[in-house]
Amino acid sequence: MRIAVIGAGVAGLACASELASAGHDVVVLESSRSVGGRAATRRTEAGAFDDGCPLLARGSWLLELAPLGLELACFAERETPVPSMETLCVALGAGLDVRAGVRVARIVRAARGTTVRIESGDGIDLGAFDRVAVTAPAPRSAELLADGEPDLAERAGRVLYAPCWTALAAWDERLALDFDWHREAAGATPVAWACRESAKPGREPGERWTVQAGPLWSRARLGDDGDIVARDLVAALGLLGHEPLPPPTLLLAHRWRFARCVEPLREPCLVSEDLCIGAAGDWCAPPPAPGDPGALQEGLGVPAALHAGRALARALIA
Ligand SMILES: Cc1cc2nc3c(=O)[nH]c(=O)nc-3n(C[C@H](O)[C@H](O)[C@H](O)COP(=O)(O)OP(=O)(O)OC[C@H]3O[C@@H](n4cnc5c(N)ncnc54)[C@H](O)[C@@H]3O)c2cc1C
């Protein structure tokens, strides 16, 4: 079958590689210039930053990454792919036909059980496919599903996310901060996560910090100007070290509107009755392990995206 996968994040690439391994003709359409989605790495003139997902949680799910031949190293009580987070998606996407810079705007179906057409934002026909897998964050997936599968769109539309403001800052000199990372669960300061990028294993040298705000602070400041938000996050980093920081030589802000899923769908994926259109992502959480009510929360994020992408592949070709 000819199958289109929309999105080259963890879920889309996991889905596409499972479909390609089963012998299908798969094309991955990605709106950004590179793979990774929220598990990407941002390159700047000052060096690279893991500006989305910073680290991978430990757990048995990591064994599923073994066939990828990734190098994983320990940092801040979690694991990081070496030399960058995006290595995970580069490995997941190896050998796949990934078309970057292609934003899908519409999924059009003529009748049940026939092929599905896809259109880009400027109305260009991207072709006809036997199956389409949508793997954007749930609110974006809901928009794409609205025409062809309104019922699936409504279910995806119920999923809730927390936003995350992220500041990326670099300095010419090493800062006097005597820690390489800081994690704050209680939300006592704006900073939920801060990390000296060069302290992560296998990274290039240079004083670069990624500072991520907690969900409440991020939501309260969601409409604010990125430059101001980034300055405030750097100031908050300075307070953690008990002294103001010098002005950074590079300061960027990234507003993740849909950073982490907080209220997922309790299904492994969504698939239309005729199996032509499906959707999945980190918003399709696997059910909690029996007797372990905390397992679902632990599994959200990258592990959920990986499982959901694979579940969607299996469901589409069942
Ligand atoms: C700041 C932050 C911190 C995080 N921390 C952690 C953590 O500590 N641990 C953890 O496990 N997870 C964490 N996560 C979450 C984790 O990154 C995500 O759960 C996971 O990467 C989601 O993968 P996905 O494939 O489901 O979605 P995405 O990564 O969002 O991939 C979807 C892809 O679809 C593309 N796309 C969207 N719309 C279209 C369209 N119309 N046409 C074409 N392409 C489209 C997007 O560009 C994107 O590449 C964090 C995320 C953020 C942002």
Measure Cα distances from 80 to 202, 211, 301 in Å. 10, 17, 14
Contact 177, 169 (CB under 8 A): no
- How far apart are alpha carbons 312 and 318 in whole angstroms? 10
Which burial class, exposed, middle or buried, applies to 302 when counting CB atoms under 10 A from its CB (0-12, 13-18, 19+)? buried
Nearest alpha carbon, ligand 1 atom 48: 37
Domain 160-260 has CATH 3.90.660.10: yes
pTM of this prediction? 0.95
Give the model's pLDDT for residue 186.
74
- Output the ligand 1 site: residues, CB below 6 A: 6-12, 29-32, 37-39, 52-55, 57, 103-104, 135-137, 140, 144, 164, 166, 212, 256, 259-260, 281-282, 301-302, 305
For residue 305, the CA-to-ligand 1 centroid distance in Å is 8
Per-block average pLDDT, block size 10, for the chain (318 residues)? 97 98 97 96 97 92 92 96 97 97 90 78 88 97 94 96 97 96 86 97 97 95 98 96 94 97 92 95 77 57 95 96
The answer to whether residues 218 and 248 touch, using CB atoms and an 8 Å cutoff, is no
Q: Domain ranges in the chain?
A: 2-40+85-158+265-316, 160-260
Residue 300 is predicted with a pLDDT of: 82
**Can you tell me the distance from the alpha carbon of 1 to that of 38, in angstroms, rounded to the nearest whole number?**
29
Strands 71-75 and 78-82: antiparallel
Q: What DSSP designation does 204 have?
A: P
Residue position matching structure tokens 């991520």: 212
Looking at the domain covering 2-40+85-158+265-316, what would its CATH class be?
A: alpha beta
Runs of H (alpha helix) within 146-250: 150-156, 215-220, 226-240
The Å distance, Cα 137 to ligand 1 centre, comes to: 7
| Residue 210: predicted pLDDT | 98
Rg (CA), the chain: 20
